[in-house]
């Protein structure tokens, strides 16, 4: 009955896990071999920087996947948490004078509080309405940051105390990415994780079976915002300068979404595989066709949605739970009911016997 | 057989635009009863279930469950009070395994707590396995519900109502598309559960199924309650025969 694809093989899955662990170990010793500018060698500071950005993308994609992939709420404004985390950290460091760890923790708290407030409004909307509301939230927040000059220095931007330590950011983001992915793996196996999938599959049904769907949605939304807020804080400190236009760019959300869809929406491995492939692909496109990179990115997204809607993991596995984006956006109960009706009407008559 | 009232509707009214789907219906279900709800297609049976379970907001009247007014409650709150149901249009979680579907239907903690971030108790796994076995789904326990056939999904839905140990179960055409032998098993199981104190309300088009099981039958027609009595009374009611069976007066409607 079920197709047997390469990733359904337990051996292949185990090998994949082993290779991932190996890759993490290799990455962990990479900074030891870093060469200074002008010296010969493969491990340059710029390579470390690129990896740091990739780890951030993995952490953000995995956290976006919690709401977008598992729960079925496709967030088009997810980078708003990145921005709030970055600005929270910036404000706490420069205006309040807190140390970096405390300031970042503060930034995460602000992200979570904002997510609880915004989520309790936007998560009442479904399908494309939620997506658009989040995009609007993102744009509005950017403008609020611009206007709130006394706090954020508005459009002039803010300079954080410079701290140049590439290996440190490398390690912190590597550990963060590993922890976040491990957490999504474990979440999926808990009762909470199953509840999220139930909400994605049939929210009204979950409601009628005694699940307070609103509370579960808001909780996962806040978890997701906390992770991305933390990434924002790290990014701000690493970049030393933030202003509304470099922090709040729509492309940041788009990149996370593309990476997740490319890997496999709603799977644990999807955001990791997708981010790794997409990050270096984007880097390649940037270095060779800078002027066309948005066209290439857009083309990639269209190709994905058309031909590999279930992503890399989804198309190589039957058990992954990968969900095409279209299914999430058209989560209109009427349509789904009709689906079911046709399905049962077609198959219900003589085939009462079961396998 | 019957005790105090467990579910009561007073003047329940539901309009869809100009259409009155449930028209001031008064009804009562007593503890320990099996009550049938019948009526022609479009007579408002499913809509009445939707009103009871809070999915549709009523436009008038009130509904009491175990003596408490649940008219304004949200669906999940009503479920938590001990009222479970199945759906005419099947609603199982296709991307979850049969076991996960069952485990999720037991109405665990309302608020996500630390315990939500663990796996379910072994005793619940045992219970899920037992229910799956009874419904002949034991072999599929760890497979996704999406691969089940239409009939198997119906059985799974039935199992999902059993998980939380409810006081009242509403079944909306729970046996359509299921093979006759199994229907007999389900009948037996319903009787058995009823014997242990579970109250049921059934929507079915199979009159034999209804008259075999039910203590009482409520008949809806164009949203109005047109009869309420024992199966024998209903079967000999002229108006019911007229409305339900039309001219040919057959014994089965499909
Ligand atoms: N969401 C809705 N919007 C508009 N009209 C509706 C809606 N749901 C039901 N109706 C209408 O209400 C009436 C009663 O429908 P309902 O589904 O309750 O009938 P039923 O007795 O369950 O029929 P069946 O035996 O075919 O299942 C029908 O005329 C139907 O078209
Ligand atoms: Mg119906």
ipTM for the complex? Answer: 0.89
pLDDT tens digits, residue range A70-108? Answer: 999 999 999 999 999 999 999 999 999 999 999 999 999
Query: Does residue A85 contact residue A150 with C-beta atoms inside 8 Å?
Result: no
Mean pLDDT for chain B overall: 90
Q: Which of A11-15, A98-102, A329-333, B165-169 has the lowest mean pLDDT?
A: A329-333
Query: Does residue A219 contact residue B113 with C-beta atoms inside 8 Å?
Result: no
Q: What is the distance between the alpha carbons of residues B114 and A79, in angstroms, rounded to a whole number?
A: 28
Question: Pocket of ligand 1, candidates B17, B45, B90: which has the most ligand atoms within 8 Å of its Cβ, to mutate?
Answer: B45
Q: Is the pLDDT of residue A301 over 90?
A: no
User: Running DSSP on this structure, what letter comes out for residue A34?
Assistant: -
Confidence of residue A4 (pLDDT cuts 50, 70, 90): low
- Does A236 reside within a domain? yes
- Does A134 reside within a domain? yes
Mean pLDDT, range A164-180, rounded to an integer: 93
User: Running DSSP on this structure, what letter comes out for residue B144?
Assistant: B
Residue A187 contacts B, CB cutoff 8 Å: yes
- Does B253 reside within a domain? no
Query: Does residue B146 contact residue A200 with C-beta atoms inside 8 Å?
Result: no
Query: Does residue A173 contact residue A59 with C-beta atoms inside 8 Å?
Result: yes
pLDDT tens digits, residue range B141-154? Answer: 999 998 898 889 99
Q: What is the distance between the alpha carbons of residues A159 and A171, in angstroms, rounded to a whole number?
A: 23
- Residue A6: exposed, middle, or buried by beta-carbon count in 10 A (0-12, 13-18, 19+)? exposed
- What is the least distance, in Å, from the CA of A53 to any CA of chain B? 30
Confidence of residue A343 (pLDDT cuts 50, 70, 90): very low
Q: What is the distance between the alpha carbons of residues A259 and A325, in angstroms, rounded to a whole number?
A: 13
User: Running DSSP on this structure, what letter comes out for residue B29?
Assistant: E
pLDDT on residue A336: 45
List the domain range (segments joined by +) for residue B218.
5-248
Q: What is the distance between the alpha carbons of residues B89 and B203, in angstroms, rounded to a whole number?
A: 13
CA distances from A11 to A6, A15, A18, A315, B165 (A): 9, 6, 10, 18, 40
Residue B177 contacts A, CB cutoff 8 Å: yes
Query: Does residue A74 contact residue A63 with C-beta atoms inside 8 Å?
Result: no
pLDDT tens digits, residue range B64-92? Answer: 999 999 999 999 999 999 999 999 999 99
- Does B207 reside within a domain? yes
Residue A334 contacts B, CB cutoff 8 Å: no
- Does B254 reside within a domain? no
- The closest of A50, A49, A148 to A90, measured between CA atoms, is A148
User: Running DSSP on this structure, what letter comes out for residue B225?
Assistant: E
User: Number of helices and strands (H, E) in chain A?
Assistant: 17, 2
Confidence of residue B245 (pLDDT cuts 50, 70, 90): low
List the domain range (segments joined by +) for residue A55.
42-257
Q: What is the distance between the alpha carbons of residues A255 and A263, in angstroms, rounded to a whole number?
A: 12
Question: Pocket of ligand 1, candidates B43, B253, B254: which has the most ligand atoms within 8 Å of its Cβ, to mutate?
Answer: B43
Q: Is the pLDDT of residue A230 over 90?
A: yes
Query: Does residue B101 contact residue B153 with C-beta atoms inside 8 Å?
Result: no
Q: What DSSP assignment string belongs to B155-218?
A: HHHHHHHHTT--SEEEEESTTTT--HHHHHHHHHHHHHHHHTT-EEEEE-S-HHHHHHH-SEEE
Q: What is the distance between the alpha carbons of residues A48 and A34, in angstroms, rounded to a whole number?
A: 8
- What is the least distance, in Å, from the CA of A309 to any CA of chain B? 16
- Does A241 reside within a domain? yes
Q: What is the distance between the alpha carbons of residues B210 and B34, in angstroms, rounded to a whole number?
A: 9
- Does B196 reside within a domain? yes
- Does A222 reside within a domain? yes
Q: Is the pLDDT of residue B252 over 60?
A: no
For A352, name the nearest residue in chain B, comparing CA atoms only.
Answer: B179
CA distances from A347 to A318, A342, A351, B148, B218 (A): 23, 8, 7, 11, 30
- Does B22 reside within a domain? yes
pLDDT > 70 fraction of chain A, expressed in percent and rounded? 91
Closest residue by Cα to atom 29, ligand 1, is: B42
- The closest of A74, A69, A52, A196 to A133, measured between CA atoms, is A74
Length of chain B as a residue count = 254
Phi, psi of B107 (to 5 degrees): 60, 55
What is the tally of structural domains in chain A? 1
- What is the least distance, in Å, from the CA of B251 to any CA of chain A? 19
Query: Does residue B137 contact residue B156 with C-beta atoms inside 8 Å?
Result: yes
CA distances from B26 to A80, A244, A245 (A): 52, 61, 62
In terms of phi and psi (left: phi > 0; alpha: psi -120 to 50; beta: otherwise), the region of A153 is: left
Contact state of A209 with B84 under an 8 Å Cβ cutoff: yes
Confidence of residue B254 (pLDDT cuts 50, 70, 90): very low
pLDDT on residue B1: 47
What is the tally of structural domains in chain B? 1
pTM of the full predicted structure?
0.89
Q: What is the distance between the alpha carbons of residues B87 and B70, in angstroms, rounded to a whole number?
A: 20
């Amino acid at each position: 009955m079920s197709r047997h694809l390469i990733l359904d093989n337990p051996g292949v899955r185990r090998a994949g896990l082993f290779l991932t662990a190996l890759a993490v170990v290799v990455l962990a010793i990479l900074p030891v071999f870093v060469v200074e500018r002008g010296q010969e060698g493969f491990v340059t500071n710029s390579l470390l920087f690129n990896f740091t950005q990739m780890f951030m993308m993995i952490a953000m994609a995995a956290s976006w996947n919690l709401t977008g992939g598992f729960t079925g709420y496709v967030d088009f404004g997810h980078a708003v948490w990145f921005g709030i985390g970055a600005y929270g950290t910036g404000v706490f460091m420069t205006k309040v004078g807190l140390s970096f760890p405390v300031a970042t923790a503060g930034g995460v708290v602000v992200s979570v509080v904002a997510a609880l407030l915004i989520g309790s409004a936007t998560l009442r909307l479904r399908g494309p309405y939620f997506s658009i509301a989040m995009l609007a939230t993102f744009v509005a927040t950017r403008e609020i940051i611009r206007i709130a000059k006394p706090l954020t220095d508005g459009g002039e931007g803010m300079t954080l105390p410079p701290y140049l330590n590439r290996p440190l950011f490398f390690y912190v983001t590597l550990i963060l990415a590993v922890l976040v992915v491990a957490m999504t793996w474990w979440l999926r196996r808990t009762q909470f994780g199953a509840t999220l999938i139930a909400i994605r599959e049939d929210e009204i049904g979950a409601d009628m079976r005694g699940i307070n769907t609103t509370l579960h949605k808001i909780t996962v939304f806040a978890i997701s915002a906390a992770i991305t807020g933390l990434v924002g804080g790290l990014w701000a400190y690493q970049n030393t300068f933030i202003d509304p236009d470099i922090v709040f760019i729509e492309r940041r959300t788009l990149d996370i979404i593309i990476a997740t869809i490319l890997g496999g929406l709603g799977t644990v491995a999807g955001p990791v595989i997708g981010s790794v492939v997409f990050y270096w692909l984007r880097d390649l496109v940037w270095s060779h066709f800078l002027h066309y990179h948005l066209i290439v990115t857009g083309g990639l997204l269209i190709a994905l949605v058309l031909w590999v809607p279930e992503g890399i993991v989804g198309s190589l596995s039957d058990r992954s739970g990968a969900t095409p984006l279209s299914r999430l956006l058209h989560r209109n109960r009427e349509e789904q009911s009709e689906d079911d009706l046709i399905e049962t009407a077609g198959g219900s008559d003589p085939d009462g016997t079961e396998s | 057989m019957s005790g105090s009232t467990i579910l009561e509707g007073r003047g329940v009214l539901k309009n869809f635009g100009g259409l009155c789907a449930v028209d001031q219906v008064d009804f009562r279900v007593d503890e320990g009863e099996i009550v049938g709800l019948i009526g022609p297609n479009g007579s408002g049976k499913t809509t009445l279930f939707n009103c009871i379970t809070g999915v549709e907001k009523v436009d008038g009247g009130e509904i009491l469950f175990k003596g408490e007014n649940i008219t304004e409650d949200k669906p999940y709150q009503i479920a938590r009070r001990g009222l479970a149901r199945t759906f005419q249009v099947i609603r199982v979680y296709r991307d979850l395994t049969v076991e996960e579907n069952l485990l999720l239907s037991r109405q665990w903690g309302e608020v996500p707590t630390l315990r939500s971030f663990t796996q379910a108790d072994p005793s619940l796994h045992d219970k899920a396995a037992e229910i799956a076995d009874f419904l002949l789904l034991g072999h599929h326990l760890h497979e996704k519900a999406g691969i089940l056939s239409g009939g198997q999904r119906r059985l799974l839905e039935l199992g999902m109502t059993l998980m939380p140990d409810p006081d009242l179960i509403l079944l909306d055409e729970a046996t359509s598309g299921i093979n006759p032998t199994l229907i007999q098993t389900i009948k037996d199981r319903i009787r058995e559960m009823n014997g242990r104190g579970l109250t049921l309300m059934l929507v079915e088009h199979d009159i034999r199924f209804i008259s075999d099981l039910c203590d009482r039958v409520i008949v809806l027609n164009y949203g109005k309650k047109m009869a309420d009595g024992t199966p024998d009374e209903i079967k000999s009611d002229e108006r019911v025969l007229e409305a339900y069976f039309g001219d040919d007066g057959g014994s089965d409607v499909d």
